């Protein structure tokens, strides 16, 4: 009897302890859920998001600028650039802090929207009431920020430089600089892009740096031709091709080794001087140890490459190559093919953009709903 009574008391104490423990957990969960949908947390997160966006808009971002522009800024402000890079401020929109703030804001707005809808259903509010318009507006913010969050995780952005008449194939190694989201699953489409012609800045209404590229994109049997200009991306095959402000003249060369292997390449030329002075040229032939150091001169209006060809640490071999000609050099022949123009392009995919546009439309609908709904 006593043993049975003791066992019952122990079971009762264990049940009481479990109930107290469960009640404490429920209380903690309710407290966290209440704080998650609190107005103060929403204001705090929106303020932090605004600060991060302002920092990303005012400080050069590695993933938004072209490689040439970012390197130019880094060399102009070496100390400042080193500090900002160490703090991760040069990649604000790809930092874990930005993802955490955006994710918490989505949860906050979602919890507020659920609580608001529950209240409206419990109160049996009329469909034309301002409360439902407010609920739609808040839900649209959830969709909008969720689209930004999804886009950050799944987007792709790559930077590539092409010479006029050249092209590239969409592949991992084709881009000089690229950024892939942690959940970028679409892979590369393998489409071909050819730069047909370039449009340089012209006229007082075209600011310096504005450029345009006429492209031909081929994806299997589907061929699309169109223009992309600064601020006017070309939309094709579910992606956007943006025209960067990078561009200029380039020198195209070809090196034929004694074994018959041909190596081609392009080197960017510095801007032309007002007095027509020679421009420095230095490049390494891809896949070899052949280096050319010299200058590009225009004696009679026709470009001529004058310099030295260095190979295996030997003494330089003097060359003077008119445009379109080739000359024998130690180990092969070097051809100065032409002087052309090059341009930088940014290829981007953002699956979350549709969510963002849908959220913006829903936000507009909710705002109009609240304005037109009759007041109590």
Q: Where are the domains of the chain?
A: 248-341
Angstrom CA distances, 338 to 260, 296, 302, 343, 349, stand at 21, 11, 10, 16, 34
pLDDT in tens, 284-343: 888 788 888 889 988 777 889 998 888 776 667 888 888 889 888 878 888 998 888 888
At residue 68, the pLDDT reads 63
State the pLDDT at residue 204: 45
Distance CA(213)–CA(224), nearest Å, equals 14
Q: pTM higher than 0.95 for the full model?
A: no
What is the C-alpha to C-alpha distance for residues 193 and 170, in angstroms, rounded to an integer?
A: 8
pLDDT at 203: 45
| Those residues with Cβ within 8 angstroms of residue 223's Cβ, 6 or more apart along the chain or in another chain | 216, 217
Which residues of 164-230 form beta strands (DSSP E)?
Answer: 167-169, 177-180, 192-199, 212-219, 222-229
Token output for 181 = 């989201």
Angle CA(142)–CA(144)–CA(149) in degrees, nearest 5?
Answer: 90
Rg (CA), the chain: 31
Name the stretches of the chain with pLDDT < 70: 1-23, 63-68, 185-187, 200-210, 275, 313-315, 375-376
Residue 70: predicted pLDDT = 75
Three-state secondary structure call for residue 94: helix
């Amino acid at each position: 009897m006593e043993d049975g009574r003791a066992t019952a008391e122990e079971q009762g104490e264990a049940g009481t302890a479990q109930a107290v423990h469960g009640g404490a957990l429920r209380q903690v969960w309710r407290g966290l859920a209440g704080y998650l949908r609190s107005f103060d947390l929403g204001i705090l997160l929106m303020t932090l998001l605004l600060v991060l966006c302002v920092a990303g808009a005012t400080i050069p971002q590695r993933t938004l600028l072209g490689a040439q522009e970012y390197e130019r800024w880094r060399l102009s402000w070496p100390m400042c650039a080193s500090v900002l890079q160490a703090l991760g401020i040069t990649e604000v929109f790809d930092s874990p802090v930005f993802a955490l703030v955006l994710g918490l804001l989505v949860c906050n707005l979602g919890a507020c929207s659920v609580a608001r809808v529950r209240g409206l259903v419990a109160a049996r509010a009329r469909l034309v009431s301002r409360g439902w318009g407010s609920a739609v507006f808040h839900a649209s913010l959830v969709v909008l920020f969720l689209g930004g969050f999804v886009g950050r995780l799944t987007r792709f952005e790559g930077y590539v430089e092409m010479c006029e008449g050249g092209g590239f194939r969409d592949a991992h190694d084709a881009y000089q600089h690229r950024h892939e989201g942690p959940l970028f699953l679409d892979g590369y489409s393998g489409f071909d892009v050819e730069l047909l012609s370039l449009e340089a800045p012209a006229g007082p209404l075209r600011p310096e740096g504005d450029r345009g590229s006429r492209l031909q994109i081929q994806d299997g049997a589907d061929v699309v031709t169109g223009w992309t200009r600064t601020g006017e991306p070309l939309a094709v095959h579910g992606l956007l091709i943006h025209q960067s402000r990078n561009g200029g003249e380039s020198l195209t060369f070809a090196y034929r080794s004694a074994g018959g292997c041909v190596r081609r390449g392009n080197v960017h030329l510095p801007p032309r001087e007002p007095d027509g002075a020679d421009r420095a040229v230095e490049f390494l032939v891809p896949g070899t140890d052949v280096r050319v150091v010299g200058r590009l001169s225009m004696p009679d209006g026709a470009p001529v490459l004058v310099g030295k060809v260095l190979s295996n640490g030997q003494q330089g071999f003097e060359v003077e190559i008119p445009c379109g000609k080739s000359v024998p050099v130690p180990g092969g022949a070097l051809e100065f093919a032409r002087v052309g123009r090059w341009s930088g392009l940014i290829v981007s995919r953002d699956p979350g953009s549709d969510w963002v546009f849908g959220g913006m439309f829903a936000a507009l609908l909710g705002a109009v709903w609240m304005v037109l709904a009759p007041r109590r």
